[in-house]
A and B are shown apart, each in its own frame.
Chain A
Amino acid sequence: MALLEVNNLKKYFPIKKGILSRTVGQVQAVDGVSFTLKKGETLGLVGESGCGKTTVGRSILRLIEPTSGQVTFNGQNLLRLEREELRKVRASLQIIFQDPFSSLDPRMNVGQIIAEPIRNHLKISKSEMRNQVAYLMERVGLHPEQMSRYPHEFSGGQRQRIGIARALALNPLAVICDEPVSALDVSIQAQVINLLAQLQEQMNLSYLFIAHDLSIVEHISDRVAVMYLGRIVELATDRELYQNPMHPYTQALLSAVPIPDPEIRKKKILLQGDVPSPINPPSGCAFHTRCPERKEICSREEPIFQNIGADHWVACHLM
């Protein structure tokens, strides 16, 4: 059974104008996203900036209240929960933020930051808390002696480790990683990714790994979902997606990944034009305005997201 099941999740942000705050339109940030996340699995979620990846992550946790849809986590429908129930569920569904600078309170020291989730959910003594925090810090590769230091005294990579320790403090089942390494230097990215992979193995965690860097997602994910303009256009296992991309958008994305070998000449698919506005998305297939292989049907009918075999799902009329 799936640990996390997202069904037809939608988030429309209203656009308000005038003194009476009339709603004059909607930004369709997430428009019918469905996927499942199994126990111990990593699902990569990739797409361009502004395609709705982050909104998906935050809607699942109800940091942003979704417009409609269903999110089932560990047998409970998160969107129906009351405050107090939601608080309890969030102990086992955590998040790691993209920006390690704004995600830590600058006026709290590292010990207080990591202890905060524990203090709110468990009643344990001060010395026990200290031990627990020290253990967590060691686990993510920080020195427990630095417990009384403040976030600004750490580098970006170390700060991200603090964020990871905080997210793992309550032994969660799943963690939403919202571009956890895109704010870091390349050399640090690898360290943090490897730490995440190692922790996953030790604690049997599930990750929803949101990123825009395809090579990082390939490294850590079991399955990958590609998003375009608020929708998932292709979802397949890691190997299948990278070796046999079916959707023209996925093909274009993959052709843009640089290969560190000057001898190989790749055929690059260059997409024309900009991403259409999510306020007024194109009719039919949202990608048809930029698709190199579009047909007449693409602008008329929305393609169905279907399984084309071997757990490879694609939303395209060409299949």
Chain B
Amino acid sequence: MTQQHPRLREFKFTLYRIFRNPSAIIGFSLLFIFAGVALFAPQIAPPKYPHNPYLMPHKGFSPTPKPPSQTNIFGTTSGQYDIFYGVVWGTRTAFKIGMFVVGIAAFVGVTLGAVSGYLGGIVDEALMRITDVIWAIPTLVLAMAIIVAFGRGLDKVMIALALVGWRWYVRVIRSEILTLRDQDFVQAAKIMGVSDLKIILRHILPNAIYPVLIMASMDMGSMVITASFLSFVGLGAPKGYADWGQMVALARNYIVGPPGDPLKFWYAIVIPGGCIVLFVLAWNLIGDALRDAFDPKLRRR
């Protein structure tokens, strides 16, 4: 038998741990489906306006949603936008929002947290007090304030959420680094003449990054929910943009049907709403599975 490289062995063990967990299988399957839909959106729902594929096609302006039919398999929502098209391209929007927001927030947060935790002293004090001030403002209020200042639009929503989101990561990474900073192997690296930057990059971050990965995967879901909410209240995507939150918003007057048939327009709410729920669920299940797999106390029998 050939001896495997230890790093490969560790990686295989991690994968084995992740996929022994049923919630991970559900989470990754859901994510796989969403990713497929997002990737093949042009094939699944060919855009009517190739220069702006995110604009949902609509026939007519009637405010009453129409049930699923031959031409619109998921029906149409208020304004006669095609729900199927919106859901497919909305998947792309969701990934775009999640990855952009979490990527920027995690990068900014980890950088600031690492500097703050490792250097300590005045730098730490200053950075953490600024973070505290930002913490004092509720997420949505702060995001809305930023959007109002910058103007509406999905890109502004993403920037606003990234500007709000980093504060979680700062605290998590800083606390990890505070415990690692005084460990002997970091002291040893100092004695060996390793520079501060290299100590952070080679010794501290690789040992501190897992909580951030777990948080980031959970955050992917919650950021999409928050963005949906902002679209719902009308601060996000422009009218007709394929965005799940906006689609729920379009149907908000039809949540309850006419007297005697309260579920008449269920498709206008349940289909885009369900997508949001499943997308968030997928990321949360993955986050849970990562936590179980990386927890050193649970890792080995």
Taken together as a complex, chains A and B put the C-alpha atoms of A234 and B225 apart, in Å, by 70
Taken together as a complex, chains A and B put the C-alpha atoms of A109 and B6 apart, in Å, by 9
Taken together as a complex, chains A and B put the C-alpha atoms of A101 and B209 apart, in Å, by 20
With A61-B191, A90-B191, A166-B188: A107-B206 Cβ-Cβ less than 8 Å: yes
A121 touches B207 (CB 8 A): no
A148 beta carbon closer than 8 Å to chain B? yes
Interface string of B183-195 (1 = CB under 8 A from A): 1110111111110
A196 to chain B, nearest CB (A): 17
Residue of A nearest to B205 (CB): A107
Residues of A near B183 (CB, < 8 A) are 102
Taken together as a complex, chains A and B put the C-alpha atoms of A116 and B194 apart, in Å, by 8
B99 to chain A, nearest CB (A): 26
Q: Which of B5, B187, B189, B206 contacts A116 (CB 8 A)?
A: B189
With A120-B194, A149-B6: A97-B207 Cβ-Cβ less than 8 Å: no
With A105-B207, A120-B194: A97-B184 Cβ-Cβ less than 8 Å: yes
A222 beta carbon closer than 8 Å to chain B? no
Residue of B nearest to A63 (CB): B187
Interface string of A161-189 (1 = CB under 8 A from B): 00100100000000000000000000000
A250 beta carbon closer than 8 Å to chain B? no
Q: Which of B5, B184, B191, B206 contacts A99 (CB 8 A)?
A: B184
Across chains A and B, the number of contacting residue pairs, with CB separation under 8 Å, is 58
With A106-B207, A149-B6: A166-B192 Cβ-Cβ less than 8 Å: yes
B291 beta carbon closer than 8 Å to chain A? no
Q: Which of A103, A121, A150, A153 contacts B188 (CB 8 A)?
A: A103
Residue of B nearest to A58 (CB): B187
B185 touches A102 (CB 8 A): yes
Q: Which of A91, A109, A163 contacts B193 (CB 8 A)?
A: A91
Residue of A nearest to B206 (CB): A107
A111 to chain B, nearest CB (A): 11
Taken together as a complex, chains A and B put the C-alpha atoms of A163 and B192 apart, in Å, by 12
With A87-B193, A120-B193: A153-B187 Cβ-Cβ less than 8 Å: no
Residue of A nearest to B192 (CB): A117
For this complex, 24 residue pairs linking A to B, each with C-beta atoms less than 8 Å apart, are: A63-B191, A90-B193, A95-B188, A97-B184, A97-B188, A98-B184, A102-B183, A103-B185, A103-B188, A104-B185, A104-B188, A105-B189, A105-B203, A105-B207, A107-B207, A109-B6, A109-B7, A116-B194, A120-B192, A120-B193, A121-B193, A149-B6, A166-B188, A166-B192
Q: List 6 A-B pairs, minimum CB-CB distance, nearest first.
A: A103-B184, A117-B192, A120-B193, A87-B193, A105-B185, A97-B184
Residues of A with Cβ closer than 8 Å to B? Answer: 58, 61, 63, 87-88, 90-91, 94-95, 97-99, 102-109, 116-117, 120-121, 148-150, 153, 163, 166
